[in-house]
Structure formats: C-alpha cells, structure tokens
C-alpha cells in the first residue's frame, strides 16, 4: 500500500492571516518557533492539533515544570550551605549552581517524554486518532515528525522557564548559559524521538513500567546531584552512556562557559540518538498503520 493515502474531500486551510481566521495558529507563531521543517511542512498540522487540544487543559501542560523546580528549592538551595562549594572547570561554584544545570536537563527530559510516550500510546491504541490523521494528505513521516516536534516543544517550554528561574535566583554561572536552551532542545529531541519509537512497540499500559524503570535511574544516577567521580569505576562506565548524563554534562559545561571537543561529542551523541529514534518511529508507525 502506498504510504500516502488519498485525501478526503475537504477545503484546505491556508497559512497566514487567512488560516488564522479559520481557527488555526497564526503563521507568525511558526516564524518565531525554531522548528525547521516542522514550521514549513505538513507536520506542523499535528502540532497545531496538540495546541488546540491543550488550549483548555493548560494546567496539565505546565504542571511538569514544577517537579525539577521543587527539587531545586529543596535539594539545591536546601543543602547549599551544608555541601559548600564544588569544583567545576577549575572554578569553585556553590552546590545550588552545580545542581541547577542538571535539573534543567531533567526538566527537558520530563517535558519531552510525557507526550512522546503516554500521549502517543493513547492516540495510537485507544482513540485511534493516528488512523484518522492518515486519512488526510499527511503521511507517516509527517505524523511522526509532528508528534516528536510537539514533545520537543513542550520540553523546550519547560527548559526555557527553568532557565529563567535559574537567572532570577542567581544560579547562572556565566553569560554562555544562553546556549543551555539549544542544548536542552537537543536533549529533549533525543528523548522524544526514542520515546515515540519505543512506545509504538507497547501493547498495554503495563509496558509503561519499563519507561518509568528507566527514567528514575536516569534522574538519580546521571550526575544531576553529584559528580560522576563518586561512583565506582564500573558504574561510571554505565552512567556515562546514558542520554541524560550526556545532556547534563553538555548543559553544565555551557552554563560554566567551558568549551572543547568533548562538548561537540555530547551534542553529536544526542542528535544521533534522536535521529535513530525518529527513524524507528517512522518505521514502526508505518508497519502498524499501513498494514
């Protein structure tokens, strides 16, 4: 069967101001958001659908921001005077300043993984809305890109808000911290793409236990709260290949203004992982929806 199904008879909705009159998101939004292909192609229609769905459920959209924020207040600021200063790139920083970039990375992870897993499963297995999407001119690639793009956008909102909080609390180590947001987007892309791809293999809600079983160790053992050197050698080798650790080190280095070839290695790791997850999502959704 061809990947692109015949479109249904309906009036196309134009872009720009005319599209805004038909209830779509104004084109100005897509000029502001750094979504690349998603802003120009049909995948953005999937993102528009999610924006419309969350219009009346915005408390659910912003609730995920508060978990890392409370961790920052309780652990970062609460233990700041007990732990003292830590060494970061040859400079002494407070414990709260050390923890904040790690929690920024976890905020990007949390925001991206929610819609990449739970929302994807609900639409794929329960409401069957993905099948309705493919009854339009959209293809499987557009569907996967839109689903992942929305998850990345949600994680980016969490990350931007958390970065602002870091600035307000004086936990930004250098002006280079502005680069932490693009790094957080790359981290969110890796988790969103892999999460979407793996969710397509799930059969029941019980399979989400495996997702939770992976996310919690990522959060606790990826050097968010303490340096990697506190672990024994064998555990360091395991932690160092986790995507959250790669993101934590990348964001922490950029926050401190530390640059080098290792920063590019961390970034390349996250981008490659995200592209692999995107391929997996497109391949699996095609097998499930185009049978």
Q: Is residue 267 part of a domain?
A: yes
The pLDDT of residue 242 is 92
**Residue 39 belongs to some domain of the structure:** no
Report the domain count for the chain: 1
Tell me what pLDDT residue 33 has. Answer: 42
**217: in domain:** yes
10-residue mean pLDDT series, the chain (291 residues): 41 39 42 44 81 73 71 76 74 85 92 88 88 86 92 91 89 89 95 94 86 87 88 90 94 89 94 95 90 70
Q: pLDDT at position 207, please? A: 84
Radius of gyration of the chain from its Cα atoms, rounded to whole angstroms: 20
Q: How many CB atoms lie within 10 A of CB 216?
A: 10
pLDDT given for residue 274 in this prediction:
95
Answer yes or no: is 84 within a domain.
yes
Q: What's the 3-state SS for 230-252?
A: HCCHHHHHHHCCCHHHHHHHHHH
> Which domain range does residue 217 map to?
58-289
Which of 12, 233, 271, 278 lies closest to 143 in space, CA to CA? 278
Q: Would 49 be classed as within a structural domain?
A: no
Q: Does any domain span residue 17?
A: no
- Whether 245 is in a domain gets the answer yes
* Residue listed under structure tokens 């970065």: 163
Looking at residue 146, what is its pLDDT?
92
| Residue 15 pLDDT | 41
Please give the C-alpha separations between residue 113 and each of 18, 193, 198, 258, in angstroms, as whole numbers.
34, 9, 11, 28
With contact defined as beta carbons under 8 Å apart, do 277 and 197 qualify? yes
Partners of 87 in the beta sheet?
A: 92
* Assigned domain for 157 exists: yes
């Amino acid at each position: 069967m061809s990947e692109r199904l015949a479109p249904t008879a309906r009036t196309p909705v134009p872009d720009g101001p005319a599209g805004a009159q038909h209830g779509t998101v104004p084109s100005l939004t897509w000029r502001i958001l750094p979504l690349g292909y998603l802003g120009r192609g049909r995948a953005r229609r999937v993102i528009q659908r999610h924006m419309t769905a969350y219009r009346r459920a915005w408390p659910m959209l912003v609730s995920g921001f508060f978990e890392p924020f409370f961790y920052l207040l309780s652990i970062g600021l609460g233990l700041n005077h007990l732990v003292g200063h830590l060494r970061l790139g040859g400079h002494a920083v407070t414990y709260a300043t050390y923890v904040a970039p790690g929690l920024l990375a976890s905020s990007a992870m949390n925001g991206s993984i929610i819609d990449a897993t739970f929302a994807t499963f609900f639409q794929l297995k329960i409401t069957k809305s993905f099948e309705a999407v493919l009854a339009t001119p959209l293809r499987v690639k557009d569907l996967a890109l839109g689903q992942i793009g929305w998850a990345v956008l949600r994680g980016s909102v969490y990350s931007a808000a958390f970065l602002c909080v870091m600035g307000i609390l004086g936990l930004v180590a250098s002006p280079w911290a502005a680069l932490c947001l693009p790094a957080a987007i790359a981290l969110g892309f890796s988790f969103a793409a892999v999460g979407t791809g793996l969710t397509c293999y799930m059969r029941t809600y019980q399979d989400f236990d495996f997702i939770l079983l992976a996310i919690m160790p990522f959060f606790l053992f990826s050097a968010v709260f303490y340096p990697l050197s506190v672990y024994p050698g064998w555990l360091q080798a395991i932690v160092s290949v986790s995507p959250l650790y790669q993101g934590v080190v990348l964001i922490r280095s950029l926050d401190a203004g530390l640059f080098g070839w290792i920063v590019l290695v961390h970034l390349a790791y996250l981008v490659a992982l995200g592209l692999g997850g995107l391929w997996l999502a497109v391949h699996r959704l095609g097998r499930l929806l185009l049978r």
